[in-house]
A = this chain, B = another copy of it.
Amino acid sequence: MANSRFEYVKLFERENFLLPETHIVIRVDGRGFHKLSAKYSFAKPNDLGALELMNRTAQKLMDQMPDISLAYGDSDEYSFLLRKGCGLFERREAKLITTFASTFTAYYQFYWPQYMKQPLEEDRLPTFDARAVVYPSEPTVRDYFAWRQVDCHINNLYNTTFWSLVEGGMTPKEAENELIGTLAADKNEILFQRFGINYNNEPALYKKGTVLIRGPIFEDADGQRDKSKRQQERQEKKMKKRPIVERHIDIIGASFWDGEKEEKKQESKEEVAGEKL
Contact = CB atoms under 8 A, between A and B. Distances in A.
A86 to B, nearest CB: 14
A12 B101 contact: no
A76 to B, nearest CB: 13
Interface string A131-169: 111111101100110110011001000000000000000
Given A9-B147, A102-B128, A109-B110, 19 more contacts: A3-B154, A3-B277, A5-B277, A6-B144, A11-B20, A12-B19, A12-B20, A12-B21, A19-B136, A94-B130, A94-B131, A95-B129, A97-B98, A98-B98, A98-B128, A102-B102, A103-B105, A106-B127, A143-B225
Given A16-B16, A97-B94, A9 B143 contact: yes
How many copies are assembled?
4
A126 B107 CA distance: 10
Interface residues of A, number: 63
A39 to B, nearest CB: 15
A9 B105 contact: no
A177 interface: no
20 contacts: A3-B277, A5-B277, A8-B224, A11-B20, A12-B21, A14-B17, A16-B16, A21-B136, A21-B140, A31-B99, A94-B97, A94-B129, A94-B130, A97-B98, A98-B98, A105-B105, A107-B125, A110-B125, A136-B137, A140-B225
A102 B104 contact: yes
A12 B137 CA distance: 12
Contacts of A140: 9, 12, 21, 225
A7 interface: yes
Nearest to A95: B129
A258 interface: no
Contacts of A144: 6, 9, 12
Nearest to A147: B6
A105 B110 CA distance: 11
Interface string A16-59: 11011110000000010000000000000000000000000000
A4 interface: yes
A102 B275 CA distance: 35
Interface in A231-277: 275, 277
Given A20-B11, A277-B5, A225 B130 contact: no
